[in-house]
Amino acid sequence: MAEKKTRKEPAAKKDTKKPVSKATPAPAATSPDKELGKGARIGVYICHCGTNIAGSVDILAVQEYAKTLPNVAHVDNYQYMCSTPGQKKIEEGIKEHKLTGIVVAACSPRLHEPTFRTATKTGGLNPFRFEMANIREQGSWVHMHDREGATAKAKDAIRIAVAKAALLQDLVPKSVPVTKAALVVGAGVAGMQAALDLANAGIKTYLVEKSPTIGGRMSQLDKTFPTLDCSQCILTPKMVDVGRNPNIELMTYSEIEEVEGYIGNFDVTIRKKARGVLTPAEAEARGIVGGGCNGCGDCDTVCPVIKPNPFEMGMKPRKAIYIYHPQVVPLIYTVDFDSCVKCGLCVEACGEKKAIDLEMKDEFVKVKVGTAILALGYDIFPIEKKDEWGYQKFENVVTSLEFERLICASGPTGGHLVRPSDGKTPKKVAFLLCAGSRDNTGVGKPYCSRFCCMYSLKHAHQIIEKIPGCQPYIFYMDIRSFGKMYEEFYYRIQDEGAKFIRGRVSNILEDPETKNLYVMADDTLLDRPMKLEVDMVVLAAAVQPSADTDRTRKLFGVSCSLDGWLLEAHPKLNPCGTTTAGVFLAGVCQGPKDIPDTVASAEGAASAASIPIHMGEVELEPYFAQCIEEKCAGCGMCVNLCPYQALSLVEKEGRKVMQVTEAKCKGCGTCGGFCPGGAIWMQHFATPQIVAQIDAFLLGGEQ
Amino acid sequence: MARTKGYPEPLEKKLRDTRLYEEDTNPQFTKTVEKISMTIPHMCYQCGTCTASCPSAPRSSYRIRKFVRRALLGLEEEALTDPDLWLCTTCYSCTDRCPRDIAPTDVIMAMRNLAAKRDIVPVNFLKTVQAIYTTGHGVPNNDVNRAARKKLGLNPEPPTTHGFPKYVKGIQYILDYFGLKQRADKIIKEREG
Ligand SMILES: Cc1cc2nc3c(=O)[nH]c(=O)nc-3n(C[C@H](O)[C@H](O)[C@H](O)COP(=O)(O)OP(=O)(O)OC[C@H]3O[C@@H](n4cnc5c(N)ncnc54)[C@H](O)[C@@H]3O)c2cc1C
Ligand code: SF4
Ligand code: SF4
Ligand code: SF4
Ligand code: SF4
Mutation test residue for ligand 3: of A440, A452, A478, A487, the one with most atoms within 8 Å of CB: A452
Q: Do A72 and A109 share a domain, yes or no?
A: yes
Q: Indicate if ligand 1 lies below 6 Å from the C-beta of A226.
A: no
Q: Indicate if ligand 5 lies below 6 Å from the C-beta of B175.
A: no
What's the confidence (pLDDT) of residue A192?
98
Q: Do A503 and B100 touch (CB under 8 A)?
A: no
Boundary residue ending a domain (A140, A173, A206):
A173
Q: Do A67 and A129 share a domain, yes or no?
A: yes
Q: Do A522 and A412 share a domain, yes or no?
A: yes
pLDDT one-digit tens code per residue, A442-460: 999 999 999 999 999 999 9
Q: Give, in degrees to the nearest 5, the angle at Cα A381 between A380 and A384.
A: 115
Decide: helix, strand or coil at residue A614: helix
Q: Do B97 and A477 touch (CB under 8 A)?
A: no
Cα distance from B190 to chain A (closest Cα, Å)?
A: 35
C-alpha A487/C-alpha A246 separation (Å) is 41
Check if the beta carbon of residue A335 is closer than 8 Å to that of residue A362.
no
> Which among A670, A677, A558 has a CA at the least distance from the CA of A629?
A677
Q: How high is the ipTM of this complex?
A: 0.88
Query: Around A445, how many Cα atoms within 13 Å sit in the side-chain half-sphere?
Result: 26
C-alpha A435/C-alpha A266 separation (Å) is 41
What's the confidence (pLDDT) of residue B3?
55
Q: Do B54 and A529 touch (CB under 8 A)?
A: yes
For residue A278, the CA-to-ligand 2 centroid distance in Å is 15
Q: What does DSSP assign to residue A621?
A: P
For the ranges A32-41, A229-238, A638-647, the lowest mean pLDDT is seen at A32-41
C-alpha A650/C-alpha A536 separation (Å) is 73
Helices marked H in A98-200 — which ranges?
Answer: 109-122, 147-165, 189-200
For residue A288, the CA-to-ligand 2 centroid distance in Å is 21
What's the confidence (pLDDT) of residue A111?
87
Q: Do A156 and A291 share a domain, yes or no?
A: no
Query: Is residue A492 in some structural domain?
Result: yes
Query: Is residue A680 in some structural domain?
Result: no
Query: Is residue A578 in some structural domain?
Result: no
> Which among A467, A456, A453 has a CA at the least distance from the CA of A415?
A467
Check if the beta carbon of residue A178 is closer than 8 Å to that of residue A699.
no
* Cβ-based contacts of A531 with chain B (< 8 Å): 58
* Cβ-based contacts of A523 with chain B (< 8 Å): 48
Q: Is the pTM of this model over 0.90?
A: no
What's the confidence (pLDDT) of residue B36?
98
Strand partners, A196: none
Is B193's Cβ below 8 Å from some Cβ in A? no
C-alpha B164/C-alpha B146 separation (Å) is 16
Q: Do A315 and A444 share a domain, yes or no?
A: no
For residue A401, the CA-to-ligand 1 centroid distance in Å is 11
Q: Which of A439, A527, A529 sits opposite B99 (nearest CB)?
A: A439
Instruction: With residue A699 as reference, give the H or E element that holds it.
Output: helix A687-699
Q: What does DSSP assign to residue B47?
A: -
Of all residues in chain B, the one with the smallest CA distance to A476 is B47
Cα distance from A393 to chain B (closest Cα, Å)?
A: 18
C-alpha A204/C-alpha A189 separation (Å) is 19
The verdict on whether omega for the bond into residue A330 sits within 30 degrees of 0, i.e. cis, is yes
* Cβ-based contacts of A388 with chain B (< 8 Å): 97
The pLDDT mean for chain A works out to 93
List b or e across B140-162, with b for residues whose CB sees 16 or more CB atoms inside 10 angstroms. ebeeeebeeeeeeeeeeeeeebb
Q: Do A388 and B99 touch (CB under 8 A)?
A: no
Count, in order, helices (H) and strands (E) of chain A: 17, 34
What's the confidence (pLDDT) of residue A2?
40
For residue B111, the CA-to-ligand 5 centroid distance in Å is 14
C-alpha A558/C-alpha A551 separation (Å) is 10
Q: What backbone torsions phi and psi does residue A432 show, to the nearest 5 degrees?
A: -105, 110
**Residue A490: CATH number of its domain:** 3.50.50.60
Query: Is residue A132 in some structural domain?
Result: yes
C-alpha B96/C-alpha A442 separation (Å) is 12
Pocket of ligand 3 (CB under 6 A): A 433-434, 437-438, 448-450, 452-453, 478, 480, 540
Q: Do A350 and A435 share a domain, yes or no?
A: no
Cα distance from B107 to chain A (closest Cα, Å)?
A: 17
Q: Do A389 and A521 share a domain, yes or no?
A: yes
Question: In angstroms, how far is CA A405 from the centroid of its own chain?
Answer: 30
Task: Identify the nearest ligand to the CA of A527 by its number.
Answer: 4
Cα distance from A201 to chain B (closest Cα, Å)?
A: 47
Checking DSSP bridges between strand A680-682 and strand A617-620, what pairing results, if any?
Answer: unpaired
Q: Do A410 and A512 share a domain, yes or no?
A: yes
C-alpha A511/C-alpha A531 separation (Å) is 13
Check if the beta carbon of residue A385 is closer than 8 Å to that of residue A443.
yes
A687 Cβ contact list (under 8 Å, min separation 6): A26, A27, A30, A672, A678, A681
Structural domain boundaries, residue A141? 2-173
Q: Do A55 and A135 share a domain, yes or no?
A: yes
In the predicted structure, residue A11 carries a pLDDT above the cut 90: no
Query: Is residue A408 in some structural domain?
Result: yes
For residue A538, the CA-to-ligand 4 centroid distance in Å is 22
C-alpha B84/C-alpha B87 separation (Å) is 5
* Cβ-based contacts of B39 with chain A (< 8 Å): none
Per-residue HEC secondary structure of A432-488 comes to EEEECCCCCCCCCCCCCCCCHHHHHHHHHHHHHHHCCCCEEEEEECCCCCCCCCHHH
C-alpha A519/C-alpha A539 separation (Å) is 12
Ligand 3 atom with minimal separation from the A453 CA: 2
Task: Identify the nearest ligand to the CA of B98 by its number.
Answer: 4
Query: Is residue A673 in some structural domain?
Result: no
Chain A interface, Cβ < 8 Å to B: 388, 434, 438-442, 444, 477, 502-507, 520-524, 527, 529-531
pLDDT one-digit tens code per residue, A581-637: 999 999 999 999 999 999 999 999 999 999 999 999 998 889 999 999 999 999 999
C-alpha B129/C-alpha B121 separation (Å) is 11
Q: Do A342 and A411 share a domain, yes or no?
A: no
Task: Work out the angle between the directed axes of helices B64-73 and B27-37 (0-180°, nearest 10).
Answer: 120
For the ranges A20-24, A390-394, A481-485, A688-692, the lowest mean pLDDT is seen at A20-24
> Which among A204, A238, A245, A214 has a CA at the least distance from the CA of A371?
A204
**Residue A130: CATH number of its domain:** 3.40.50
Q: Which of B51, B53, B66 sits opposite A507 (nearest CB)?
A: B53
Boundary residue ending a domain (A153, A173, A193):
A173
Boundary residue ending a domain (A525, A544, A563):
A544
* Cβ-based contacts of B66 with chain A (< 8 Å): 527
Q: Do A161 and A297 share a domain, yes or no?
A: no
What's the confidence (pLDDT) of residue A663?
79
Q: Do A539 and A407 share a domain, yes or no?
A: yes
C-alpha B119/C-alpha A617 separation (Å) is 80
Which residue is closest in CA terms to ligand 4's atom 6?
B50
Q: How many domains does chain A have?
A: 3
Interface test with A, best of B18, B49, B102 (most A CBs within 10 A): B49
Q: Give, in degrees to the nearest 5, the angle at Cα A362 between A357 and A368.
A: 125
Check if the beta carbon of residue A325 is closer than 8 Å to that of residue A410.
yes
What's the confidence (pLDDT) of residue B4?
56
Written as tens digits, the pLDDT of chain B (193 aa) is: 455 566 667 777 778 898 999 999 999 999 999 999 999 999 999 999 999 999 999 999 999 999 999 999 999 999 999 999 999 999 999 999 999 999 999 999 999 999 999 999 999 999 999 999 999 999 999 999 999 999 999 999 999 999 999 999 999 999 999 999 999 999 999 998 7
pLDDT one-digit tens code per residue, A126-163: 999 999 999 999 999 999 999 999 999 999 999 999 99
User: What single letter denotes the amino acid at residue A316?
Assistant: K
Ligand 5 atom with minimal separation from the B90 CA: 1
A234 Cβ contact list (under 8 Å, min separation 6): A224
Query: Is residue A287 in some structural domain?
Result: yes
Q: Do B99 and A520 touch (CB under 8 A)?
A: no
Q: Indicate if ligand 5 lies below 6 Å from the C-beta of B109.
A: no
Is B39's Cβ below 8 Å from some Cβ in A? no
Q: Which of B52, B97, B99 sits opposite A529 (nearest CB)?
A: B52
Percentage of the residues of chain A whose pLDDT score is greater than 90? 89
Query: Is residue A326 in some structural domain?
Result: yes
Length of chain A: 703
Q: Which of A388, A438, A522 sits opposite B48 (nearest CB)?
A: A522
Pocket of ligand 4 (CB under 6 A): B 44-50, 65, 68, 98, 100, 102, 104
Which residue is closest in CA terms to ligand 2's atom 2?
A340
Is B54's Cβ below 8 Å from some Cβ in A? yes
Decide: helix, strand or coil at residue A534: strand
The verdict on whether omega for the bond into residue A226 sits within 30 degrees of 0, i.e. cis, is yes
Checking DSSP bridges between strand A181-185 and strand A371-374, what pairing results, if any?
Answer: parallel
Q: Which of A388, A442, A504 sits opposite B48 (nearest CB)?
A: A504
pLDDT one-digit tens code per residue, A501-528: 999 999 999 999 999 999 999 999 999 9
